[in-house]
Structure 1
Amino acid sequence: MIRSIWTVSTFIHAVLQRCAPTNIVLGRIRRRRGLKWGVPAMLLAVPYLIEASLCSAAVGDGASGWLNLIILLCLWNAMKFIVAGPVAVVLLLRARHREAVARRASERANAAVELVAA
């Protein structure tokens, strides 16, 4: 029973990573080329928060209770984008540090080769 639940949840996770628009955007932000867009992507949380507010007002005015699921989804997506900004900054700093270390090691190796050749 646990194995089948685990398998189904793994399948659903894989499908959502490939098909859900927010997961696609966040996946591209986490790549090296997309890290610079982490902080501006935080602004994408604003439309989700506005939509959640509008749905909340509609539920308060007597609309269907199913809109609460839309509210939860919007708040979850807004949280993902808000957290993506600082995470992208940390990942960018780590990537730049690794690149600087590799560049210095390459320069030292080139200098050693030049000394041996001279």
Structure 2
Amino acid sequence: MIRLLWTASAEVRYFLRRYMPSNVLLDLIRTRKGLKWGVPAMLLAGPYLAVAFWCTTLIESGGPGWLHLVVLLCIWNALKMLAIGPVSVVLLTKARARAYRAQRQERSDMTLRELTRSPR
């Protein structure tokens, strides 16, 4: 039974990770080229929260109960979009520091090779 639940949760996670637009966007942002788009992606939290507010208004005026799931999903996606901004800034800083260190190491290795070159 536990194995069945484990397999089902893994399949659901794979499906959501692969096909849900917010997860696809987050995966693209986490790449080296996409890190610069993390802070602007935080702006997407606004429309998610607006849809959640609109759905709660519909629910209060007698709308269907399944809209609670839409509200939950919208709030969850808004939180993910808000979190990717600071995370992408930290990851971008780390990536740039790594590139700077590699470039500095390459320069020092080149200087060392020039100094140790034997004169002919």
Query: Shorter-normalised TM-score: what interval?
Result: over 0.9
> Could you report, residue by residue, the CA deviation over 1:4-52 in whole angstroms, capped at 9, with x for unpaired residues?
2111111111111111100000000011100000000000111100000
Percent of residue pairs identical: 48
4+ long deviations beyond 4 Å: none
Q: RMSD in angstroms over aligned alpha carbons?
A: 0.9
Report the Cα offset of residue 53 of structure 1.
0.3
Task: Show the counterpart of 1:74.
Answer: 74
Task: Show the counterpart of 2:20.
Answer: 20
> Could you report, residue by residue, the CA deviation over 1:37-81 in whole angstroms, capped at 9, with x for unpaired residues?
000000011110000000000000011111110000000000000
Task: Show the counterpart of 1:55.
Answer: 55
TM-score when normalising by structure 1: 0.96
Task: Show the counterpart of 1:37.
Answer: 37
Distance 1:113 1:4 in 2: 60
Distance 1:87 1:105 in 2: 27
Report how many aligned residue pairs link the two structures: 118
TM-score when normalising by structure 2: 0.94
